[in-house]
Amino acid sequence: MDAEILTWIFLGGGLLLMLLEFAVPGGVAFFLGFSGLVVGFLRFFDILTSAGGSVAAWLLLSVGLTIAIRPFVKKYLKPESSFKYADEDYEAMDQIAEVIEEVNDYDNSGKIRFDGTSWRAKSLEGTIKAGEKVRIRFRENITWIVEAEGIREPTKQQIRNKSRN
């Protein structure tokens, strides 16, 4: 392979890898590309002449930059991140759903519509008619346990007032 072609491969490949960093962020492609550019310039100015030495220099420089500098870059240039629970049960608790088939407290023959899907449901207490709103409390296997929307647990103040009467 011609020495000039190898130089242009390092320069072009390095630039391409650095641009690839915009599509696949993470820092590694940037350091590989930067190393390619450095080796390409060293070859351009005849500091590196052999193909094997150029590849070895690129490998060492790439590994060195990735191991040494990447942690600092990640520390000071924090990417956007978001946190979301992966527990669907936790996210569904206390959400409002609509009863589409009558729900009762003795079997799971009732159905609710939640997140655009119909689910089997059972009530904590009594029967809840179709069309009413319910609050999801928890799940037993694949059945949501619900209660009528109007029911709320009494507050401490309500319990104290009730005990005084």
The percent of residues in the chain predicted with pLDDT above 90, rounded, is: 49
pLDDT score at 159: 61
Other CB atoms closer than 10 Å to residue 24's CB: what's the count? 10
What confidence tier does 87 reach under pLDDT thresholds 50, 70, 90? confident
Residue with token string 């904590």? 124
Long-range contacts of 85-91 (CB under 8 A, 24+ apart): 89/138, 89/139
* 121 CB burial (10 A radius; 0-12, 13-18, 19+): buried
What is the model's pLDDT at position 144?
A: 92
User: Which residue, chain included where needed, has tokens 């890898």?
Assistant: 17
Amino acid at 78: K
Please state the domain extents for the chain.
Answer: 3-76, 88-148
pLDDT in the model for residue 152: 54
pLDDT digits (tens, 9 = 90+) for 119-163: 999 998 889 999 999 999 988 888 999 999 876 555 555 566 666
- Give the model's pLDDT for residue 52: 93
pLDDT reported for residue 75? 77
Mean pLDDT of 59-83: 79
Q: What is the mean pLDDT of residues 1-14?
A: 89
Strand-pair partners of 134: 97, 148
The values of phi and psi at residue 62, to 5°, are: -65, -50
Give the homologous superfamily in CATH for domain 88-148: Nucleic acid-binding proteins (2.40.50.140)
**What is the distance between the alpha carbons of residues 31 and 26, in angstroms, rounded to a whole number?**
10
The reported pLDDT for the residue numbered 80 is 65
Rounded Cα gap, residues 162 and 110, in angstroms: 34
In this predicted structure, what is the pLDDT of residue 53? Answer: 94
Question: What is the DSSP secondary-structure string of 90-145?
Answer: HHHTT-EEEEEE-B-SS-S-EEEEETTEEEEEEESSS-B-TT-EEEEEEEETTEEE
Q: Is the pTM here over 0.85, yes or no?
A: no
CA distance 126 to 142: 20
